[in-house]
Each structure stands twice: as C-alpha cells, then as structure tokens.
Structure 1
Amino acid sequence: MRSSPIQSQSGFIMMLLVVVMAVGAAAVFSLYQDNTVLRYQSDIYLKRMNQLNEVKQQLLKFAVFQPELYQSDLVSNSRTYKEAGKLPGPGYLPCRDLDGDGWVLEAETSCGNPRDPADDTTGFVYGFLPVGFKTRNFFFGALEPRQFYYVVDERFVNGNNLYNNGTTGRYAPLNPLLTPASPPDVSPPNVLPDGTLPWLTLNGVEGYVALIIFPNAPQVFSDGFEQDRSQGGTAVDRVADYLDRRFDIDGNRLDGNADGNRHFYSQSRENIGVNDLVVGITFSEWQEAVMNRVCSQLDRLTQVDSNLAYWFNDYEVTQNPSGGNWRDFIGACGP
C-alpha cells in the first residue's frame, strides 16, 4: 500500500526534526566542551597569577627583613653575629640563580650591571628565581628550581661587588628617594643623578624594582624559532628557551622578553607571541613596604645614637657604608 502524501510529509518532518535536534545537541555539547576548556584555562591562569603574587609578597618580606636575615653569618657551623655597623639596611633583594640549582651560591652571590643611560641592556640583572636561602632559613614557598625567571634592578640587590662602599658589596644608600643616587666609587657613565628611579618596564610602564616571570609551555614562534628547555646552560644562556619573543600583527619581531633589554611584557591579546605571565614590584610598592617597616619601629630606631654606624643613620662611605639616611625620612611616618 502506498503512503499518502501527508504521511510522507510527516515522515520527512520527523527526520528533519531529528537532524535539527542532533545538530543542536552537538552544538550544545561543543559549547559545553569549549566552556570546560575555558574554565580550565582560567583556573590555571588564576593559579599561576596567585602563585606569582605570593612570590612577590615573599620578595617584599625578604627586602623588609634584611637587617634580621643578615644579622649573623654561619661560620664553621657556628652562628656569628655582626656588628651593628655591618648590618644591611632594609630594602635589598636577592641576586639571581644562574645555574638553576635553586640557590644563590659562590659567584652568584654578587651580581651587578651598572646602569648606562644610553644602554637599555644595563641597570638590571636576570636569571632564575632562587627557591630560598638555607643559611637564612628563608624560602619562597614550595617552588621548584627553574620554575620562574627573576629580573631585578641591580642597585637593589644585597650582593653587588661593583659597589664597594667600604667592602659592604652593596649599593648604598638605598632609601625612599634613592639619594644620593650613586656612591663615590662609581665612575662615568654610571654616575646617576639623585632620585634616579628604576627603569625596568612592564607592558610599557616604567619604574619596576623587580619582575617575576612564569614561562608558560615552550612554543614554536611564527618566525620558526622553537624553544627547547632540555639543554644545559645558565639562565642567561638559555633565556630564549624560557622567555618569549613578541611580534606585531604582520609577523615582524618586536622587543620581547628574551631580548636582554629592560623592556618586558606579560601575556595579553596585544602582546602577540608572549605566553609569559609577569608580576612586578613597583618602586612605590617597595617604598611603602620598607617605610611601613621603619615606621613600625620608630620609637626604638630614634633612640639609636645618630653618630653610630648603623643602617638607620646617614650614609658615609668609610664611617657608615651601610647607612641609608633613613633618619631623614621619619617625617613620612606621620604623628
């Protein structure tokens, strides 16, 4: 028996509905998958950014508690306390880990690259972020060696033999105005005007004391360069395998994180090719953290004889090379 035209049309409509429902279900499933992937990527991004910010806070604590962390040295398994005049002032940050073992040892304990205003590759040092300092019982969370890169203005490191300052091996004085800006043992072109601010940049914004960089998964860039992190070598030697290149919309290479200059970029739609996640410590954040420490101890600090060699007092290259002129800034603490 032949089916009627009405029955044929009904069958066709049913088949069409089934197809439409199948396509709709596939679209919904695809959208669900896309949303799941996006949520996962978002969760990973937030986790990494939280970790970067935790490291940032640990670095600020390291800077704030310099006098306490370095009030003694471990000599032949015996703790030897330093004279007051040899204690570092607050504000100094660690040197970088070059060999990727997680520690700052031997030659790594001094790092310097005095700033030449005509050379964008000067005024900072970079390498792997150290995981901690065993002899100081200070650790940057549960980090793995080579997990992060670390860039720091070389005036702010606590070991820099290019600044002798009575053999302290530190840039001094280090204070909220960075004044005077250069110690007497620095020669041109590295004599900076008083108040010269840090010049590390992040996404085009200047004034960073330090940057912490999480290198995302290795990439093959649009110019064909492929990152390979299986090779040996120092953090400087292998920087291109960890930090990213940057391109314009036409594929032309721009300043990137692996170029060795003072300009750095974090992952964004505008920074094509950059998967690195970057968090920085601005000079104003550094000022606030260190001034809070000084102000919280004001009653005790102001009782220190102003003529003694001590980080709170005036800097003098031979008599008080650890001085930071901090006494001059107590007016900022308020009533």
Structure 2
Amino acid sequence: MANKNHQYRNHPGTLPKTLPRTQTGAALLAAVLLLMMASSYYLVTKLNTNLEKNQHSQETGMALMAAKNALIGYAITFPEIDAESGTDTIDGPGYLPCPDLSNDGSAGGSCSLKTTNNPVTSIGRFPYATLETDDFRDGHGERFWYVVSDNFRNNPKMIPLNSETAGSISGDLTVNGYTNIAAVIFATGAIEGSQDRSTANINKYANYIEATFSDSDGDTYIDTITTGSSDRYVLLTKDELMQMVEKRVLGQTSHMLSTYLNSQGAYPWLTPFSDPKADVRRLTGTANSGSGATTLIDTSVNIDFVEWGVAAGDVVWNATDGSVGFVSSVDSSTQLTITGMSLGTENDFDEGDAYQIQLANVLTTFSGTATLGSSSLKLEDTTKDFDDLGIVEGDILENVTDGSSGVIDSIDNDEITVTSLSGGTGNDFASGDSYLIRTNSGTVTANSTTTLTDTKKDFVTVGIAVGDLVYNVTDGSYGTITAVAATSLTVTLEYGSENDFDTGDIYSISRFNPNPVTPAREGHLAFHERGEPFTTSLDIEMYFPGSISGVANADVTTTVPVPVTVPPVISQPDYVTSINRYVQGKTIAGTATGGSATSLVDTSRNFNDLGVAVGDVVD
C-alpha cells in the first residue's frame, strides 16, 4: 500500500518547496523591522532638517524685526544724532541712514535711487555699525541688505520731512504692490542661479538680492521693487515710521509748551502756517573779528554779500544785542559798512554776534535767466553761485517761462538739477527761460493804494486767506488782507513811508501755502515760523508826550503823556521780538540853518514838540 505521506517527503538533493511557518514569520518580522528603521531614520532626519530650517527662519525673522526697530530708533533720535555731528543746522526727526556700500557696517555719506548712478547708492548693506546694533545675519551667514527711499535718506535731506511726505522722491516707493515704503531690509539667503559672491562681487547687490529694481515712470529714479522667490524681507512703511516720529514731536512740543507756561504763566499766541519752501530768505550769519559799530565782517565760506545782492539801504539786525542799522555800502564779498546802529544794548558788532540782513532786492537774488547750458531738468545760470546763496536739495525751483516747477535734487555752483518738472507747457529748461527759487516774495505789477496786484501769482491756488499779513518790503509798511482774488489782494497798509503799492515794489506774505486742495491751515505754533512776521490780537499801550492829534484812540492836546493802543507786529528770529511803531502819518520837512556831519540845526523848529525821537530817519 502506498505511503500517504509520500507527497510531503523530500527527495534527496532537493529543497523544500515551502518554509516552516515559524521560519516564515521571523523573516517577515525582520523585513518589517528593517523597513521601520529605515523609515524612522528618514523621518527623524527630515524632522531635524525641518526643525533646523524653522529655527534659522525664526532667527532670521527676529533679526529682521530688530533691524527694522533700529531704523525707527535712529529716525526718532535723529535731531540728537545731527547735533552730535557738529552741523550748524539741526533738522527734525524722521531721517534714515544711507546704506553701507563697503561691507564694514558704516553708512555711506550720501545716497540716491537715481538710476544714472553706478552703483545706485541707496541700495547696500544694513549699516549696523552706524546704528550701533548687532551684525545681523541670515541663516546662511549673510549680512542683511537695505534700501532707503530718497525722501527719507539723511543726506541729501528732503526738507521739510513730515507726515505728508511720499515714500520716494518721485512719488511712492512700491514693493510687490505695497506703496509708500520708506525702507526695505533683505535677508538674501543662499546663492541662487548665476549669482557670484566672490570677493570681486561682494558689494554688488545683484549677487545677493533676487529682486528687480525698476523706474516705472521714466524719471530716472527707482520707484518699483519686485522681490524674488528666495528673497526674505521686511518693510518699513512711511505710516509706521511717521507714527513714531509724530509721538516724539508731540512729546517734545508738549515739553516746550509746559516750559513756556512755567516761565511765562501762559501759553504762547498762535501764528499762521508758512510753507518752509517759501521763506523770506533773510541772510543770516555771525560777525567775525574786525567788526564794530560801523563795520560787519563775515568770512564764512557760505557767506558772500555781493552774491546775495546786499545793497545800500538793506536793514541789518544784530540779534545778539538787539540793535538795528542800515547797510551804507558793500565793501567786498565779506565786509559791509553799517550806519545808524541803535536801539540795542551796545549798538555794534562784536566777534561772535549773530546778525540778520533783510534784502530789499530779494527777488533779483533768487531769480534770473537760464544760460546756454540749460536743458531738460538742468538749470544753468553762469551769473550765480547757488551754493553761496544757501540753496539746498528739497527747495522748489520754478520755471516762470513755461509755468512748471520741481524739487531741487542737486546743486553744483552755477547749476541746479531738479528731480522732475510738472505743471507747465514744456516741463523743461531751455536757454533764455526765466526762473525763480520759490520764496514768499513777489513784485507788484500795478499802482494802487489798497490793492496788491501780481499777475505772476495765483493767490487763490496757493491758499492765501483773509487775515494773512502782507509786508511791503520797499516802503516798510504792513497790512492785513481783507479780500483775495486770483492775482490781487485787498490790503490797507500802515506803518510805512508811503503805505501804498507802486509798480515794482517788493512784497512778502508771511504765510504761503502751495497746496491747491487743502485750505491754508491756521493755528500752528510760533516756533514753526522762525523769522516770519505775524499779527496778534494783543494790544500794547504806548505812551507819547502831549500835543498828539489825529491818532486812533487818542486826540489830546495836554502836556501829560497819554496812552495810545497799537496792535503790534511780531517777528521771531530766534526769540520773539515785539516791533511797535507809531507813525503820525506826516513827514517833517524843512531847511537846515546850521549843523555838521553828525548834527542838524533848524532854528524854525522845535523837534521835541514835533515828537522826533532817537532812531528816526533823517534824509
């Protein structure tokens, strides 16, 4: 009988067709364990890599925010930084440093987004040394890069800088569609594509930043940034920056008002707003050795009396001792002969005394005709030295011929370049064009007793309002505007030699608001309008000897001093000075019966009875 188990027996020299079940289970378990170990190793390695990347990313993000806060801190404390630099003029907060262009952490001396520069100097590394921060780096060990808008750079400055300043000099600086950007900080990461970060290319931003920089409106200034896929960046917007600057300004203003209140027992009077780009442009300086009662000498490099157009008859103030006099002659570019110094404590100029000169022909000094080198956005006038005249970047240049105007970008002796021109027929400069550096002055174009006419102005557009103060520089009279038309103002003049407007008279308006949309603003504090005259509602009693008639609030013939109430005109150079003048409205004339070089005798007159006083002018 056949064996039942024959089919399960192995023939000699052959392997079994299947393994026992115990052996099969062990092999499967080993394979699963091996797979699990491999998977675990992969997962752990991947997790560690991701954790490391996340850690680097988090560290980079924190460093970017720290760098951004450092920029804000610099902007807020800029007045103190400016003062430490030893500059003569300390500007307000809000300015940002230029980038580091040499990879040493120090900010560049000046910068610009102008595309014709090679390189564009407003793109560079983050200036950590200037900002006194850590040497911020990304996860790959690369230093941060930094781009600053031209309107917020600290050199050359855009003046004034305030909450209405746009993100760039040509409008808005845009990054990936976000507008009004003051600055961008980049963490560049690893090398991408064909970037070459060798020593020869270490300061070339294209080898670190993937972003593209473009000029969208063709004005030769970068205004648009489009970042690359690997660029990591943080934006500092204008609103973020100015929000912190405003807090600093309000805090300082509050402190100034509190100090004034504690010392004076009351808050200061308010004054109208004045466009800082429409200054009266008085010549100010400091007297040097050799100055005296009849001589003013100033050898400063930025002072040139001839270039400024100083002339006989111009008024000179000694701001240190309070005296006032007149220019008798211009002896040289550094020396004036002065006459009639009076009303001060010493009535002379000592070395170090601060002075101020009001130019009667200010329009001639700051206007002219373009010469042959003028074209496009460049004005050349070979008869001028704009550096000596104190023209700075940010001032407004007007092409009177075609009606356009623009912001000054650079000055080079007899040349001025503007960022752009707009509002005119040609919007460019050509030889023969008439130009004007914007001031709040003008020239009267028609004779009138009560109407100021200037056909080259549009008083409505620039925001001149009823109540603004007009100063007739030529005859020394003041008046308050009672009506405004496009090219004329209704004004009643007082305190001058003629109290009227003659063709060719020079006038100035202490508020000049060029914004055609926003009405002229009232209520700004007096220290915002340094050097500008303004009216107050305060009346001052002035006492005169008897025999005064025909005067408002007084018609007397007594010999006892009587009070006359006169509304003052206030001027603030570095402090408030009240200038109160009573003019009886008549000229005392006669024939000299004797005298000398320094005295006048007229035996037919009693000068005391006529009220002649020290400081009156004798012709």
TM-score by length of 2: 0.36
The 8 Å contact of residues 145 and 186 in structure 2, kept in 1 or not, is answered as: yes
Matched, 1:112 2:112: yes
Tell me by how many angstroms 1:101 deviates. Answer: 2.6
Matched, 1:131 2:128: yes
Cα deviation code 1:76-105 (max 9, x no counterpart):
xxxx5x55xx1111000011122223223x
Structure with a larger share of its residues in strand = 2
| Cα separation, partners in 2 of 1:263 and 1:11, compared to 1, 3 Å | same
Matched, 1:178 2:169: no
Matched, 1:217 2:214: no
Q: Partners of 1:328 and 1:231 in 2: how far apart?
A: 58
Tell me the number of residue pairs that the alignment of Structure 1 and Structure 2 aligns.
256
More moved, 24-33 vs 298-307: 298-307
The 8 Å contact of residues 228 and 241 in structure 1, kept in 2 or not, is answered as: yes
Residues 1-335 of structure 1 correspond to what in structure 2 (within 5 A)? Answer: 8-73=20-85, 80=86, 86-104=89-107, 108-113=108-113, 125-133=122-130, 138-143=131-136, 147-160=143-156, 170-178=157-165, 196=171, 198-201=172-175, 203-219=176-192, 221=193, 225=194, 227-232=195-200, 235=203, 238-244=204-210, 256-257=211-212, 262-265=224-227, 274-302=229-257, 315-316=276-277, 318=281
| Cα separation, partners in 2 of 1:66 and 1:281, compared to 1, 3 Å | same
In structure 2, what residue type is equivalent to 1:126?
Answer: I
| Cα separation, partners in 2 of 1:146 and 1:47, compared to 1, 3 Å | closer
Tell me by how many angstroms 1:230 deviates. Answer: 1.3
Cα deviation code 1:85-128 (max 9, x no counterpart):
x1111000011122223223xxx31212469xxx9xxx992112
In structure 2, what residue type is equivalent to 1:208?
Answer: I
- Match of 1:163? none
What SS class does the counterpart of residue 59 from structure 1 fall into? helix
Q: Partners of 2:76 and 2:63 in 1: how far apart?
A: 20
Cα deviation code 1:163-192 (max 9, x no counterpart):
xxxxxxx1111101128x99xxxxxxx7x6
In structure 1, what residue type is equivalent to 2:38?
Answer: A
The 8 Å contact of residues 243 and 258 in structure 1, kept in 2 or not, is answered as: no
Q: Partners of 1:154 and 1:234 in 2: how far apart?
A: 24
The 8 Å contact of residues 200 and 207 in structure 1, kept in 2 or not, is answered as: yes
What SS class does the counterpart of residue 183 from structure 2 fall into? strand
The 8 Å contact of residues 64 and 91 in structure 1, kept in 2 or not, is answered as: yes
Tell me by how many angstroms 1:281 deviates. Answer: 0.4
Runs of 4+ aligned structure 1 residues displaced above 6 Å come to: 1-7, 303-308, 319-323, 327-330
Cα deviation code 1:26-63 (max 9, x no counterpart):
11221111111000000001101111110100000000
What SS class does the counterpart of residue 281 from structure 1 fall into? strand
| Cα separation, partners in 2 of 1:275 and 1:103, compared to 1, 3 Å | same
The 8 Å contact of residues 65 and 234 in structure 2, kept in 1 or not, is answered as: yes
Aligned CA RMSD, in angstroms, stands at: 4.1
The 8 Å contact of residues 52 and 279 in structure 1, kept in 2 or not, is answered as: yes
Q: What runs of 5+ residues in structure 2 fail to find an aligned partner? A: 1-8, 216-221, 261-267, 283-389, 395-512, 514-521, 526-619
User: Kindly, what percent of the aligned residue pairs are identical?
Assistant: 23
What SS class does the counterpart of residue 278 from structure 1 fall into? strand
Cα deviation code 1:124-179 (max 9, x no counterpart):
9211221223xxxx41323479712111111100102xxxxxxxxx1111101128
The 8 Å contact of residues 315 and 322 in structure 1, kept in 2 or not, is answered as: no
The 8 Å contact of residues 307 and 313 in structure 1, kept in 2 or not, is answered as: no
In structure 2, what residue type is equivalent to 1:282?
Answer: T
| Cα separation, partners in 2 of 1:41 and 1:283, compared to 1, 3 Å | same
Q: Partners of 1:45 and 1:328 in 2: how far apart?
A: 50
In structure 1, what residue type is equivalent to 2:129?
Answer: G
In structure 2, what residue type is equivalent to 1:290?
Answer: V
The 8 Å contact of residues 173 and 315 in structure 1, kept in 2 or not, is answered as: yes
TM-score by length of 1: 0.64
